Amino acid sequence: MRPRSSRFIISAASPRDFPAVDLPEVAIAGRSNVGKSSLINALCAADLARTSRTPGRTRLINWFHVEPTKGRPLALVDLPGYGYAQVDKAMRDSWRPLIESYLDGRTTLRAVVLLFDIRRGAQHEELDFAPWLLERGYTVIPVLTKADKVGKAQRQPLVAQLARELGTAASLRKPILFSAQEGLGLDDLWRAIGKAAEARA
Ligand SMILES: Nc1nc2c(ncn2[C@@H]2O[C@H](COP(=O)(O)OP(=O)(O)O)[C@@H](O)[C@H]2O)c(=O)[nH]1
Ligand SMILES: [Mg+2]
């Protein structure tokens, strides 16, 4: 599916800059380099989110306005990558409160799309993060990114493995196989996002 329209709204470096957006929101979370910006670009069918070569914006939370072909408009929210060993501690300490203050009090947030590199699977951070999100009442949509990097026969077993690792909470969706490069999984992801955005908070 291609959206009717998509545009960048605003970036925020601190909670006082969070916009008062009167739309259901779906956030995209995952480690640096997992493919967040590429996935947002694929969903928006436009080069709105910068990909890894320009890391400046990746320390900010970025809002995008998207009008799907079906259903109401929504905001996609690009969260800074977490668990990135190469950044120094001071930088990590400033990210965490930013992400947590967003996730803790965002009444318009309906779902978090949680990204996993298909070659790495779930690591400690994600295995802690998913239940943390579920406890706060958010739908979690797990996505395996860069599916093109593994052979076709390996893909479904990796989906099954991630599903096993994440468990069976009610607001946990089935993992979606995704490749920005091949355009794989885009319709499945739009369906899951649309459903979550329509649901009442
Ligand atoms: N092969 C392949 N590479 C991808 C895919 N998605 C992202 N990448 C590459 O992975 C790197 C990080 O992507 P980016 O979207 O910037 O990740 P972010 O840091 O999570 O926003 C870039 O070099 C992308 O081109 C994909 O589906 N397939
Ligand atoms: Mg990015």
CATH number for the domain whose boundaries are 5-198: 3.40.50.300
Per residue in 124-164, pLDDT (tens digit) is 878 888 998 999 999 999 999 999 999 999 999 999 999 99
Nearest CA to ligand 1 atom 19: 33
Share of the chain above pLDDT 90, in %: 67
Is the distance from the beta carbon of residue 37 to the nearest atom of ligand 1 less than 6 Å? yes
Cα–Cα distance between 201 and 167 in angstroms, integer?
22
The Å distance, Cα 37 to ligand 1 centre, comes to: 7
CA of 200 to the centre of ligand 1 (A): 32
Helices (H) and strands (E) in the chain, counts: 5, 7
Would you call 109 helix, strand, or coil by DSSP?
strand
**Tokens found for residue 80:** 């800074």
Residue 132 in contact with residue 82, Cβ under 8 Å?
no
**Atom 22, ligand 1: residue with shortest CA distance:** 52
Q: Which residue's CA is the nearest one to ligand 1's atom 23?
A: 52
Q: Which tokens belong to 168? A: 């069976």
d(CA 173, CA 193): 10
Residue 91: pLDDT over 60: no
The tokens describing 148, both together, are 């093109």
Radius of gyration for the alpha carbons in the chain, expressed in angstroms and rounded: 16
Beta bridge partners of 5: 67
**Residue-level pLDDT at 85:** 46
Residue nearest to atom 8 of ligand 1 (CA): 35
Indicate if the pLDDT at residue 201 is higher than 80: no
3-state helix, strand, coil in the chain (%, to 5): 40, 25, 40
Distance 18 CA to ligand 1 centre (A): 26
